[in-house]
């Protein structure tokens, strides 16, 4: 199955104090964890939505797309991703995943089946910033956004969403503060 892989890079990083995607992490930048997972999972197209275009310039094999709704949260970034991706299946990831793997992306893809979205769940919380979408969900997301909603969780309430437990929830950890990068 061909799919587009998108990394959402438009956040303010207020708790981190600096742009998360460019932070040195492991043997590269923090954003490289998500980019490498997408490439390893076989994404036919990799896009970085929003943030500094220079991040994409330094990301081999990834293109850049300006966020249609900068500063409005991840829902706008997901709408941008579904609008501009080439393929019917689109996986969207936050730029601050620290341990994400191609295998976790494979689990997400395998759960989509006939749903509009699939995403892992940890406890009772859907991990919507590591999710697989059908482009057919775009109109519903745009309608929700146009009504004033900015919450991804609220936007998917009426959608056919497959949530599932993943094999290793620790692999979905994200970095929100500098201390979390050294844990």
Please state the domain extents for the chain.
Answer: 4-174
Spatial CB neighbours of 152, under 8 Å, sequence gap ≥ 6: 73, 74, 75, 78, 128, 129
Its pTM stands at 0.93
Spatial CB neighbours of 139, under 8 Å, sequence gap ≥ 6: none
| CATH class of residue range 4-174 | alpha beta
Per-10-residue mean pLDDT of the chain, 183 residues long, equals: 93 63 82 96 97 84 94 95 98 95 96 97 95 97 97 96 94 84 71
- In this prediction, residue 91 carries a pLDDT of 98
Cβ atoms within 10 Å of 73's Cβ, excluding its own: 17
- In this prediction, residue 76 carries a pLDDT of 96
Cα angle, residue 99 at apex, residues 30 and 8 outer, rounded to 5°: 50
- In this prediction, residue 52 carries a pLDDT of 85
Roughly what angle, to the nearest 10 degrees, separates helices 138-146 and 74-84? Answer: 140
Cα dihedral across residues 24, 12, 136, 60: positive or negative: negative
């Amino acid at each position: 199955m061909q799919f587009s892989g998108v990394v959402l890079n438009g956040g303010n990083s207020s708790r981190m104090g600096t742009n998360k995607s460019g932070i040195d992490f492991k043997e590269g930048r923090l954003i490289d964890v998500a980019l490498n997972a997408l490439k390893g999972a076989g994404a036919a197209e990799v896009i970085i939505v929003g943030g500094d275009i220079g991040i994409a310039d330094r990301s081999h094999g990834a293109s850049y797309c300006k966020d249609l709704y900068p500063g409005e949260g991840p829902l706008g970034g997901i709408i941008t991703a579904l609008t501009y991706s080439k393929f019917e299946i689109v996986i969207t990831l936050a730029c601050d995943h620290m341990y994400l793997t191609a295998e976790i992306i494979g689990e997400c893809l395998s759960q989509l089946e006939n749903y509009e979205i699939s995403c892992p769940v940890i406890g009772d919380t859907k991990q919507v910033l590591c999710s697989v979408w059908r482009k057919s969900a775009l109109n519903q997301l745009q309608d929700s956004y146009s009504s004033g909603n900015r919450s991804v969780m609220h936007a998917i309430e009426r959608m056919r969403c497959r949530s599932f437990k993943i094999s290793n929830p620790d692999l979905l950890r994200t970095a929100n503060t500098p201390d979390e990068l050294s844990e």
